[in-house]
Structure 1
Amino acid sequence: MAAKATAVMVDADGREVRVSSAERVIFPASDHGPEITKREVVEYYVAVADGIVRALRDRPTALERWPKGVLPGMTLTARDATHGRGPQGDAFYQKRLMRGMPEWARSVRVHFPSGRVADELCPDHVAVVAWAAQMGTVTFHPWPVRRADVDRPDELRIDLDPHGATGFADAVREAEQVRALLEELGLRGYPKTSGKNGVHVYLRIEPRWTFTDVRHAAIALGRELERRSDRLTTAWWKEERGDRIFVDVNQNARDRTIASAYSLRPKQGAPVSFPLSWDGLAAVDDPMAFTLRTVPDLLASQGGDAWADLDAQPHSLEPLLDLWRADLERGLGDMPYPPEYPKMPGEPKRVQPSKDRRNKQG
């Protein structure tokens, strides 16, 4: 037990971060490898400093904290720690600033759809990331905005989520549809593994449009993808998706976030959401190729972050908004928001289709 309480100092690009209970097991031994300690989690984030800071820099970031470790039987509560009541499960989402935040860490106030507000951490140095990892953070969930303007996203995020009998290989294949469509519109997307079975594609945009505009652009993109492939769907209700890849357009709604590039995911073996080139993604057959133990060496062998130039050329959203306007002329409007959102302007009826039919029959 004494070893579990050992504290060590980790150098994070010139700043010392104290890691308490450094030998606490965060990921137990599994078929994917030996156990992983808290110290190793912190040291991993220091090792991928350039990539993780690029992904998080100046972004309000929710922290997915597993302070007891990602152990069998642990639960992740759906409730976030923003209500002043503390965590409600073994793991939880931390949106408000934690006590003991280093004086050199920065934050910004964000507004949620509910009308509540919170001051969220805005990492701008790997020491901030290391400190959050020391506090039990496994996964970082940044907003698609920067600290300078929290109401104008600079990122459109495309989440390809396998459903039914589909899996990772299907998501990789359908990501080529995303690539082709974006290139036709003069846009460049950047793919990464989700760290689970999906694929994410990011589009850097000029911070000129609202969350609603960006979500509408994502809806239009998803609908155009549906027209091109019967293996893709934007159906919000699971009963309508079948064995298809779900294009989750609601990941672009305010306060919906995706695990950042280089984030660990709370699964056996500590998989990583890993950025790739398009050719690199096409060559991947197992997302577990990218883990805490493999990623630092992979970065060294491939010459660094595949997303190093992500910020170099922000795009206009207008090509996608043109698709949205064309859909409006076809009579296609908005889509349902997630259930925790208040009724949104222009949103259609938010009722599960099978239940809606029963109501009509009644």
Structure 2
Amino acid sequence: MKCHLRQEFVVGGFTRAKGARLDVHSLLLGMHEKDGSLRYAGSVRPYFSSRAATAFVARANAVRSGSAAFYNLPKPEKDRDYVWIEPSIVVECSFLEWTPGGEVRHLVFHAVRDDKPAAAVTEETMVAIEGGEPVEIDAGSTREVPGPKGSLRIAGLRITNPQRVMDEVTGHTKRELVEYYAAIAQWALPHLHNRPLALVRAPDGITGELFFQKHSETGRIPGVTELPPELHPRHPPLLVANSEEALVGLARMSVVEIHTWNAAAPDLEHPDRIIFDLDPDPALPWPAMLEAASLMKVALDEIGLRSFPKTSGGEGFHIVVPLTRRQGWSEAKAFARSCEAYGAGRAAAIFGSARPQESRRKNFIDNLRNSRGASTVASFSVRARPGIGVSMPVAWDELREISRGDDWTMPKAVERQRSLKEEPSQGYWQTQQGITAAMRRAVGLV
């Protein structure tokens, strides 16, 4: 397993969506050289809550600067505004490694540090430890330390019953589940950010009784935060997981599956994606599932929508269509239903409706996940099914290489992500598309 490094960085600025006033997309991090100059070292998504983002922007505005403090400027990003500040704010991040060019790879934000002056932040060097003496582990580390009998600590949290078998088919334990969510956090968190959660817990393993949870219920889960009650009136506060600690905290509570809404806080009234769930008839061969996914992509391309596939971790595929937040739930749901009908019309021999009695030996396109409050298993989530597969984002040109919907296990998912030069869903975050009048006409939605 790869070890992650960790240290403080100086914030020399931040980016936000063009025209936004309070948004914080990425922090621009720097490192002091020996001569006192500030070298740009990379950017990191902080995943602030709305309150924390407001507080950070207020603090940054107090030290705004008309020019960058870095002697080497970051490469500009399209559709981003750059805000430069005096290098006085310190944050702590973990990362995989330094590049030869002096930047860092795979940064993960942990916290703002107020206990260390910015001028003291320099690149830390590793030293050899002689004599084999045990090294004290920082409480925020993702490394393991022994805990009380029958427990251990991961990411600073005590994990009880780590040897409990969660899946009898693979023998995977609770410890392995927690380690997986800690290892995959940097890739999973963008897909979870500020999205209300629906959780599937398996306290006695996936063959035992499963519990579905949307609210805190009995107690607070470490790292998991509650959204303001006014965002979901007449219901208990919804939960969000925006940090590695939150993912480890969920796995610590035996949460196996993580599902999310199609909208993100603070605007839960306008979905920012629609999802098509392709479920195959068990009697169909797998190539028919691949053909169905390909033809659905063709249908969406014809409408003018860019789409991104991921395995469900179970039997089928999910096709995700990102949208700008211009449409309400009823419009998005009606459009998804019309897209389903359009796709079924384009490939009637393969697609069927969501009614099994009318669709024997066909693939079912389920658009019912596009209602307010409905949820879909998140990218990189484990599934509470024998073999506990992972819902994995893939590229369209990889489709023929996939042999089943649960092709990726936890170890394979982490190995794959660490080996990729570019994520298959990389273009997802830059896609700006809405439901236009022409698209509605194309699918027969008047």
| TM-score class, shorter | 0.7 to 0.9
Instruction: State yes or no: 1:277 paired with 2:395.
Output: yes
Deviations 1:239-281 (A, max 9, x none): 1111111111111112221111111111222211111000112
Whether the 8 Å contact between 2:224 and 2:249 is mirrored in structure 1 is no
Deviations 1:97-156 (A, max 9, x none): 1433257532224888xx852312111112111101110110101001111111110011
Pair 1:104–1:266, CA change in 2 (3 A): closer
SS in 2 for 1:63: strand
Higher helix share: 1
Instruction: State yes or no: 1:225 paired with 2:343.
Output: yes
Unaligned runs of 5+ in 1: 75-89, 329-362
Q: Which residue of 2 aligns with 1:80?
A: none
Q: Which residue of 2 aligns with 1:293?
A: 411
SS in 2 for 1:279: helix
TM-score, normalised with respect to structure 2: 0.63
Equivalence map 1:71-90=2 (5 Å): 71=207, 74=208, 90=209
Partner letter of residue 378 of structure 2? S
CA offset at residue 42 of structure 1? 0.9
Pair 1:4–1:286, CA change in 2 (3 A): farther
Task: Supply the distance in 1 between the matched residues of 2:230 and 2:199 (Cα, whole angstroms).
Answer: 15
Whether the 8 Å contact between 1:110 and 1:117 is mirrored in structure 2 is no
Task: Supply the distance in 1 between the matched residues of 2:325 and 2:263 (Cα, whole angstroms).
Answer: 8
Deviations 1:291-331 (A, max 9, x none): 0121111112223532233221231122543335x345xxx
Whether the 8 Å contact between 2:313 and 2:407 is mirrored in structure 1 is no
Whether the 8 Å contact between 1:164 and 1:242 is mirrored in structure 2 is no
Of 301-310 and 276-285, more deviation after overlay is shown by 301-310
Choose 1 or 2 for highest CA Rg. Answer: 2
Q: Which residue of 2 aligns with 1:6?
A: 150
Task: Supply the distance in 2 between the matched residues of 1:27 and 1:133 (Cα, whole angstroms).
Answer: 14
Task: Supply the distance in 2 between the matched residues of 1:226 and 1:213 (Cα, whole angstroms).
Answer: 20
Unaligned runs of 5+ in 2: 1-146
SS in 2 for 1:263: coil
Give the alignment partner of residue 17 of structure 1, picking from 157, 175, 185: 157
Task: Supply the distance in 2 between the matched residues of 1:242 and 1:110 (Cα, whole angstroms).
Answer: 44
Instruction: State yes or no: 1:38 paired with 2:174.
Output: yes
Partner letter of residue 167 of structure 2? F
SS in 1 for 2:434: coil
Alpha-carbon RMSD = 2.3
Whether the 8 Å contact between 2:304 and 2:439 is mirrored in structure 1 is no
Whether the 8 Å contact between 1:138 and 1:264 is mirrored in structure 2 is yes
Higher strand share: 2
Whether the 8 Å contact between 2:223 and 2:243 is mirrored in structure 1 is no
Instruction: State yes or no: 1:106 paired with 2:106.
Output: no
TM-score, normalised with respect to structure 1: 0.76
Pair 1:110–1:27, CA change in 2 (3 A): farther
Instruction: State yes or no: 1:238 paired with 2:238.
Output: no
Give the alignment partner of residue 118 of structure 1, picking from 223, 227, 236: 236
Q: Aligned residue pairs: how many?
A: 298
